[in-house]
Amino acid sequence: MDAWQQGLRNHTKDHRYYEIVADTLGFDCRAFVLEDSSGRVLATQPFFFVEQDLVVTAPAWIQAPVGFVRRAFPSFLRLKMLMLGCAAGEGSLVRTEGPAALVEALRATVLKAARAFGAKLVVWKDFPSGERTALKSLRSGPAGTRYVQIASMPATRMNFDFATFDEYLERRLSRVTRKSVRRKYKVLADAPPITMTVTNTLGEEMDEALALYEQVFARSSLQFERLNREFLRQLSARLPERVRYFLWRQEGRLVAFSLCLVHDGAIYDEYLGLDYRIALDLHLYFVTFRDVLTWALSQGLKSYCSTPLSYDPKFHLGFDLAPLDLYFALPWPWMNVLAQPFMRYMSPTRAEPVLASFANASEMEPAM
C-alpha cells in the first residue's frame, strides 16, 4: 500500500521494520486505514494488542490495594490493551497529509474498535514529544472520549559537538566522571584483549548474540518485546542498509552484542547483550558505548540515540532526554471519566528518580 510506505518513508523504523515486528515477535498487529469519500487511502495507523500489568510502575499506595485484590482475582488490572504505535519502538503517526486530521478521525473510532475487540484500555504508545501538537486533540473534547497524557520512559540522545572519543571525554564529562570512566577502561589492561567487529548479518553468531541479549533481558525490570532468531534474520534480509550488529569477543568468545540502526546521520542503539560472567568486572557497558560512539564518529554521523532505561550511566555520560508520551483512555465513556484521575499517576517515570537530574527533565511533562 503506497500510503503505508510513503507515510513512514522518512522514519528510521520504516514500513519494513513494522512488518518485521508483525511477522516475527508474536504480537497481534493490525492497522486502521483512513480513506476519503472516493476510497483513496489518506493514512494508515498501526496498532496491536497486548496484555499488560497496568500498575507495574504505579506508586506503592496504588500497588498495595491492587495486590490485595489480586489474591482473589489474579487478573485484576492485568488488561488486554489496544496500543497504537510500534510494538518494538516509539510510536509514529503514519500519514501522508495533515496529522491533526488523522488523530481527530481516529479519536473515537479507536475506542469503538477497542470495545469490539474486547480491549479494556487504549494506549497511544511512546509517541515523541515532537508529535504533541498533532496529538493535542486527544486531551480535549467530551470527557468520555478524552485521553490522559502522561510521560513514558524517555529515550536519550547525544548530539556530537566533538570529533574523537578523547575530545568527548574532555568536553562533555565533568572532571569527576571523566576520571571514573577512565578508571573503568584501565581495568581492561589487565584482561585479555577485547576486539570489536561490525556487520549487518549475524550468521553463525546469531545464537551466541541472542544468549547475551537474554541475559540483559532477564535483568530488566520492565519487559515488553522479546527478540528471537527470526527477528534478527529478517532485519538483515530486509533492512541491510540500516541494521548494524556490533560484536565484541574475548579469547574467541562473544562477550557483548549491540543491535543498532543507522539512518539520517544518527545511530540508534536499540538492544544490548552482555556476558555477565565478566560484564561487571570489565565494565562492558562502558566498553560498548565507547566503541559504538567511536565507530559513529568515524562514519561521519551526527548523533547517538539510545532506547529507554539505564538512565544513571546515561546521565553521567552526558546524554539528554528524548521525551516520549503515553495517551490513555478506557473504551467506555462513563468508566473513562471515573478513571482519569487515577491514570494521571501511572507514569512509569516515577520508578526512575534519576530522570529529574537530566538538564532537560522538564521537557518530559507536557504543558497543561
pLDDT value at residue 342: 85
Q: State the Rg of the chain over Cα.
A: 22
pLDDT value at residue 367: 63
On the CB side of 366, CA atoms within 13 Å amount to: 22
pLDDT value at residue 86: 95
pLDDT in tens, 71-125: 887 877 778 999 999 999 999 888 656 667 778 888 888 999 999 999 999 999 9
Model pTM? 0.91
pLDDT value at residue 98: 63
What is the end-to-end Cα distance of the chain in Å, rounded?
Answer: 38
pLDDT value at residue 324: 97
Query: Which residues of the chain have a pLDDT value below 50?
Result: none
CB 348 within 8 A of CB 153: yes
**Helix, strand, coil percent values for the chain (each to nearest 5):** 40, 25, 30
pLDDT in tens, 121-144: 999 999 999 999 989 999 988 888
Assign 228 to helix, strand or coil: coil
Q: Whole-angstrom Cα distance, residue 16 to residue 21? A: 9
Q: Whole-angstrom Cα distance, residue 117 to residue 120? A: 9
Q: Which amino acid belongs to residue 170? A: E
DSSP count for the chain of H helices, then E strands: 12, 13
pLDDT value at residue 190: 93
CB 286 within 8 A of CB 185: yes
pLDDT value at residue 57: 65
Nearest to 62 by CA among 340, 346, 327: 346
Q: Whole-angstrom Cα distance, residue 131 to residue 150? A: 14
CB 85 within 8 A of CB 91: yes
C-alpha cell at 80: 488486554
Nearest to 246 by CA among 188, 304, 190: 304
Q: Which residues contact 276 (CB under 8 A, 6 or more apart)?
A: 215, 219
Q: Whole-angstrom Cα distance, residue 59 to residue 351? A: 8
Domains, the chain: 2-154+324-364 (3.40.630), 156-321 (3.40.630.30)
CB 243 within 8 A of CB 232: no
CA 359 to chain centre: 21
